[in-house]
Structure 1
């Protein structure tokens, strides 16, 4: 066997091994991103427990008013940061969609606490505001 031929075979086998490694890495990277999204979503939900506690205290002690929504938004700051982290694993279109859905969620969350405060004395009240962002966040890819 010629020396040039042996080096060609070694090069070909090395290229096949390298291609296999690249395919394996690409396959596992998708699973890693999915797991990271799950982990970041779980952290977001833990943060929202604190946000909800702060909103409940603020809104229950408030008398209402036009600025109530605006004054409540700063409680979401830790959740805002977590949404930015979740957005890092998404495409630009999905990141924009996530931001829009999150903005609606923040407003609905505050309005739902206000509704709960205002109608807590009425057992027949049918609640209209149901912020359903967690299911969206869990399934976004």
Structure 2
């Protein structure tokens, strides 16, 4: 009987120990599940943030490409403008030279006419003096 009571007590202690172990295992499982869920939530958040960063990087890449293309267009337009201005300046210079040449030729003709008139007047004056 004593042995039976001792066996029952040992059995009850073993059952209590096993129940305690099961309870601790269940607690550990709950903690692990909560930690796992937290890890999944953090992973989803990081994945979401990573997607947002990727989208932002792509937007920045597209903007940089747009700015680069705009710069290329602006540089080409500026180069064309400089060529046009150079051409206009050359044409204006050529025109001014031609105008100056025409004016000089006109002035030379006037000078020649004035010299011829002075010579006629001098001859006329010389003839008047001889008389």
Question: Which TM-score applies when normalising by structure 1?
Answer: 0.39
More helix, by proportion = 2
Relative contact order higher in (CA < 8 Å, ≥ 6 apart): 1
Question: Which TM-score applies when normalising by structure 2?
Answer: 0.41
Which one has a bigger Cα radius of gyration?
2
